[in-house]
A and B are shown apart, each in its own frame.
Chain A
Amino acid sequence: MEKKLFGVTALFNTPDEIIKAAKGVRESGYVKYDVFTPYPIHGMDDAMKLKPSKLGYLTLGFGLTGTFIALFSMWFTMAMDYPMIIGGKPFFALPAFIPVTFELTVLLATLATVIGMLTFFFYFPNNSHPLHDTTFMKAVSHDRYGVCIESIDPKFDITKAKTALSGLGGYDIQEIYYPEKSDIRLFDPKFIVFLIVVAAVTSGAIYFALNKLVYMQPFTWMQHQQKLSAQAETKFFADKFSMRPKVEGTVARGYIPYEFKGLAAPTTEIVNPTFPSEKNLALGKKKFLTFCSPCHGNYGDGDSRLRGQFPNPPSLHSAKVRGWNDGNLYHVLVNGQNVMPSYESQILPEERWAIVNYIRVLQKAKNATLEDIQAVRKEGK
């Protein structure tokens, strides 16, 4: 097979010469040529009349994408999906988000620039080039400066190109051919294995060195603070408990003691003070599903998973419970009953009443009559 010509190269000795040579080659009308120097040379863009690279737009585009992703995901996670108060700051705490936004912007911008450069200009994953492994490439990556006029140039003629280059003062003029076959593959299995081994060994070594050999804390005053952690022993109090019992003879703010505490049933009727509005029932449903359904089941049938593992929680649809007034239901909730614990400390009074209202809805739904259904249908219209 005939060898295919890639181009003609020449070497130069000084930056001034290479600038002149680049100018000369351009002025002789060549367009497919390139200049190789061991380091960037001021004035080369002008000598070659290079247009500013378009890569900047990619950088800008991805930079802005980074900005958007950062702001959106922080807004979504911190302010929308699972709002949490951190340090008393607003959910959407913009100043605190700026560093992350900045980092992600810069990260995506640089990654896009590098990857874009590799793919658009270096034809990644192709990693071979006819100039690789030539003496020319060795020289220009060391201490020489070189020009290569490529054979795909419309004006290309091998003898003319050679005389042009030597006319400009170039020496060591060479013809460069495409290699017959290129066996440099990026995704060579051996290379991949090599990469994996290197990654595993270095990260393992670093982990071992940092965590086992020289475990050091830069500072400890954030880890070991003078504060009480719940469930942990403390030296601060004589009894060593960090969670403190209620101070004798005091009442928590907003706490109203339940007057029928400990009695089997309220001695006077407690009147339900709430109106079962849609909002109230929604609250009741939420709280019922949270606190009551694990035992009494989602619909109050007493059919939860606990059946058989625990004194069976009764159905809330029994004639007895349906016959109770709201106050009685409330009483069981606040006071507990036999093995059912009291929910006084977990559930606020208005939430308790909302639960009671919701139980009433469940009961009504279980025992609805035809007239009830017709009435609902009519209302629906």
Chain B
Amino acid sequence: MSEINYNYDQKVLPKKVLNIGLGLLVVGTGFGLIGLLLDSQRFLLNYLIAFTFLISVAVGTLFLVALEYVAGADWSVPIRRVTEFFSSTVPFLLILGIPLLFNIGSLFHWSHPEAIANDKILQSKAPYLNTQFFIIRFIVIIAIWSLFWFILSRNSKKQDTSKDQSITKRNIRYSAIFIPVFAITISLISIDWIMSLDPHWFSTIFGIYFFAGTVLASLSVVTYAVVKLYENGYLHPRIKKDHLYSLGALLFAFVNFWGYIAFSQYMLIWYANLPEETYWYLNRWEGMWIYVSLLQIVVHFLVPYSVLLSQPAKMDPKKLKFAALWILFAHLIDLYWLIMPNYHSEGGSSWIYLLEFAFPMAAVGILCVVFYLNYKKTNILPVGDPKLEKGLNFKL
């Protein structure tokens, strides 16, 4: 039965994708470095935004791959490679994190011994929040993610030639291990890199909040790439709107999930009205931040919600592309809103600089390059996957 032949010609991705990617990367990094010279603290935070953005997409796509295995989904098999391609960003996170590790002192208040000395709260958090443990955690977590990425995608590629069905079974097992590991590590990463910027503040739902954004961002990247490839005929001809619909429905579901989590976090803190929690929101209620905060509701929830609400919209390539890019942008804004209020300007304006788009631009560039290189050397269709036939036949 698995003798069906899928050898259709894999179209060559135009060099344009690579060039755009490299262009974004070079220009973004260049302007970012200028920014660093102008105002190092601000642009370090900016780098952190781009970095967490890449974390979202990289490990988020890895999660989506694992999810497909665990859930036994058929529909996503023919497009799983797109997701896998993006997940190969994971090991690079270690390299990309190095500049930040060298600047822990300028990013994190808790890393200063003199700050801890006069601060009861930081003292009791010190066993967790200290530089050595922070670095260890980071390296271990990225290593674990890379390991799972390596196993899952290498097995998947092996299956292309060996057609060995037991590989799927093994991958299901690894995915089942990965998902709880992911749940814990993504919380730790978000607490370490984002929440601890303000070491006095805490929210027990923060990990889930970041997770919701992560899944949204990675789904949007995948959706955008799939729709683009679909429109230009790079995917298998049997992939149709039913597949797009599933992506749209997942996006819609996670837009709601994000809204639910974001509101839960806000409402509980607002209702309990404890000063040690509310000040975090109050900081985001000052100056221009009030507009960013209110915009979050519109940008991150209302707009994608209304765009994706109707059934036809979820399979309309144009609307899907728009929604995907929009949500990606919204995730950037969300990260900006989480991270940037920790910047303490000395007299400088706190409005968004144009230069602040530089590092996120570079991050998008990295995604393009990673995708291009992976596409070049790997099948876009997992031809050895036993569920592929079912996946191609998928109908709503």
Binding site for B on A (CB under 8 A): 42-43, 45-46, 52, 56, 87-89, 95-96, 98-99
When chains A and B are docked, how far (Å) is the Cα of A42 from the Cα of B393?
10
When chains A and B are docked, how far (Å) is the Cα of A89 from the Cα of B395?
50
Interface centre among A42, A45, A46, A96 (most CB of B within 10 A): A42
Q: Is B177 interfacial (CB-CB < 8 Å)?
A: no
Q: Which residues of A contact B273 (CB under 8 A)?
A: 87-88
The reply to whether B311 and A46 form a contact with Cβ atoms under 8 Å apart is no
When chains A and B are docked, how far (Å) is the Cα of A96 from the Cα of B272?
11
The reply to whether A96 and B396 form a contact with Cβ atoms under 8 Å apart is no
Q: Which residues of A contact B266 (CB under 8 A)?
A: 95
Given contacts A52-B311, A87-B273, A88-B273, A98 and B267 within 8 Å (CB-CB): yes
Bitwise interface map of B from 239 to 272 toward A, beta carbon under 8 Å scored 1, else 0: 0000000000000000000000001001100110
Given contacts A52-B311, A87-B273, A96 and B394 within 8 Å (CB-CB): no
Closest 6 CB pairs of A and B: A43-B395, A42-B395, A95-B267, A95-B270, A52-B311, A46-B395
Min CB gap B277→A, angstroms: 14
When chains A and B are docked, how far (Å) is the Cα of A87 from the Cα of B267?
13
When chains A and B are docked, how far (Å) is the Cα of A42 from the Cα of B242?
11
The reply to whether B271 and A87 form a contact with Cβ atoms under 8 Å apart is yes
When chains A and B are docked, how far (Å) is the Cα of A320 from the Cα of B262?
70
- Nearest A residue to B394, CB-CB: A42
Q: Which residues of B contact A46 (CB under 8 A)?
A: 395-396
Give 16 pairs: A residue, B residue, CB < 8 Å, sorted on A.
A42-B394, A42-B395, A42-B396, A43-B395, A45-B396, A46-B395, A46-B396, A52-B311, A56-B311, A87-B271, A87-B273, A95-B263, A95-B271, A96-B267, A98-B263, A98-B267
Q: Which residues of B contact A95 (CB under 8 A)?
A: 263, 266-267, 270-271
Binding site for A on B (CB under 8 A): 263, 266-267, 270-271, 273, 311, 394-396
- Nearest A residue to B311, CB-CB: A52
When chains A and B are docked, how far (Å) is the Cα of A95 from the Cα of B271?
8
- Nearest B residue to A56, CB-CB: B311
When chains A and B are docked, how far (Å) is the Cα of A95 from the Cα of B269?
11
Q: Which residues of A contact B396 (CB under 8 A)?
A: 42-43, 45-46
When chains A and B are docked, how far (Å) is the Cα of A263 from the Cα of B394?
96
- Nearest B residue to A19, CB-CB: B395
Min CB gap B10→A, angstroms: 28
- Nearest B residue to A89, CB-CB: B271
- Nearest A residue to B272, CB-CB: A87
Min CB gap A249→B, angstroms: 34
The reply to whether A96 and B271 form a contact with Cβ atoms under 8 Å apart is yes
Q: Which residues of B contact A96 (CB under 8 A)?
A: 267, 271
Q: Which residues of A contact B263 (CB under 8 A)?
A: 95, 98
18 additional A-B residue pairs with CB within 8 Å, beyond A46-B396, A95-B271: A42-B394, A42-B396, A43-B395, A43-B396, A45-B396, A46-B395, A52-B311, A56-B311, A88-B273, A89-B271, A95-B263, A95-B266, A95-B267, A95-B270, A96-B267, A98-B263, A98-B267, A99-B267
When chains A and B are docked, how far (Å) is the Cα of A181 from the Cα of B51?
74
Min CB gap B73→A, angstroms: 13
When chains A and B are docked, how far (Å) is the Cα of A43 from the Cα of B393?
9
When chains A and B are docked, how far (Å) is the Cα of A42 from the Cα of B273?
50
Q: Which residues of B contact A87 (CB under 8 A)?
A: 271, 273
Min CB gap A280→B, angstroms: 37
When chains A and B are docked, how far (Å) is the Cα of A31 from the Cα of B267?
53
When chains A and B are docked, how far (Å) is the Cα of A98 from the Cα of B270?
13
- Nearest B residue to A46, CB-CB: B395
When chains A and B are docked, how far (Å) is the Cα of A123 from the Cα of B18?
60
When chains A and B are docked, how far (Å) is the Cα of A46 from the Cα of B270?
49
Q: Which residues of A contact B394 (CB under 8 A)?
A: 42
Q: Which residues of A contact B267 (CB under 8 A)?
A: 95-96, 98-99
Min CB gap B263→A, angstroms: 7
When chains A and B are docked, how far (Å) is the Cα of A96 from the Cα of B396?
38
Min CB gap B270→A, angstroms: 5
Q: Which residues of B contact A98 (CB under 8 A)?
A: 263, 267
When chains A and B are docked, how far (Å) is the Cα of A42 from the Cα of B263?
35
When chains A and B are docked, how far (Å) is the Cα of A89 from the Cα of B263?
17
When chains A and B are docked, how far (Å) is the Cα of A371 from the Cα of B394?
95
Min CB gap B37→A, angstroms: 43
- Nearest B residue to A43, CB-CB: B395
- Nearest B residue to A41, CB-CB: B395
When chains A and B are docked, how far (Å) is the Cα of A98 from the Cα of B262?
13
- Nearest B residue to A44, CB-CB: B395
Min CB gap B71→A, angstroms: 16
When chains A and B are docked, how far (Å) is the Cα of A45 from the Cα of B396?
8
Interface centre among A52, A87, A95, A99 (most CB of B within 10 A): A95
Q: Which residues of B contact A52 (CB under 8 A)?
A: 311
Q: Which residues of B contact A43 (CB under 8 A)?
A: 395-396
Min CB gap B83→A, angstroms: 22
Min CB gap A126→B, angstroms: 30
- Nearest A residue to B266, CB-CB: A95
Min CB gap A93→B, angstroms: 9
When chains A and B are docked, how far (Å) is the Cα of A56 from the Cα of B271?
35
- Nearest A residue to B268, CB-CB: A95
- Nearest B residue to A99, CB-CB: B267
- Nearest B residue to A88, CB-CB: B273
When chains A and B are docked, how far (Å) is the Cα of A330 from the Cα of B266?
52
When chains A and B are docked, how far (Å) is the Cα of A99 from the Cα of B311?
26
When chains A and B are docked, how far (Å) is the Cα of A369 from the Cα of B267?
64
When chains A and B are docked, how far (Å) is the Cα of A98 from the Cα of B311?
26
Min CB gap B168→A, angstroms: 21
When chains A and B are docked, how far (Å) is the Cα of A46 from the Cα of B273?
53
Q: Which residues of B contact A99 (CB under 8 A)?
A: 267
- Nearest A residue to B395, CB-CB: A43
Q: Which residues of B contact A42 (CB under 8 A)?
A: 394-396
When chains A and B are docked, how far (Å) is the Cα of A45 from the Cα of B241?
14
Min CB gap B6→A, angstroms: 21
Q: Which residues of A contact B270 (CB under 8 A)?
A: 95
Q: Which residues of B contact A88 (CB under 8 A)?
A: 273
- Nearest A residue to B269, CB-CB: A95
Q: Which residues of A contact B395 (CB under 8 A)?
A: 42-43, 46
When chains A and B are docked, how far (Å) is the Cα of A43 from the Cα of B271?
48
When chains A and B are docked, how far (Å) is the Cα of A42 from the Cα of B395?
5
Q: Which residues of A contact B311 (CB under 8 A)?
A: 52, 56
When chains A and B are docked, how far (Å) is the Cα of A41 from the Cα of B270?
46
Min CB gap A52→B, angstroms: 6
When chains A and B are docked, how far (Å) is the Cα of A42 from the Cα of B75?
11
Min CB gap B393→A, angstroms: 8
When chains A and B are docked, how far (Å) is the Cα of A96 from the Cα of B271?
7
Min CB gap B51→A, angstroms: 32
Min CB gap B33→A, angstroms: 42
When chains A and B are docked, how far (Å) is the Cα of A46 from the Cα of B242?
11
- Nearest B residue to A60, CB-CB: B309
When chains A and B are docked, how far (Å) is the Cα of A87 from the Cα of B266?
16
Min CB gap A246→B, angstroms: 31
- Nearest A residue to B270, CB-CB: A95
When chains A and B are docked, how far (Å) is the Cα of A225 from the Cα of B260?
31
When chains A and B are docked, how far (Å) is the Cα of A43 from the Cα of B395?
5
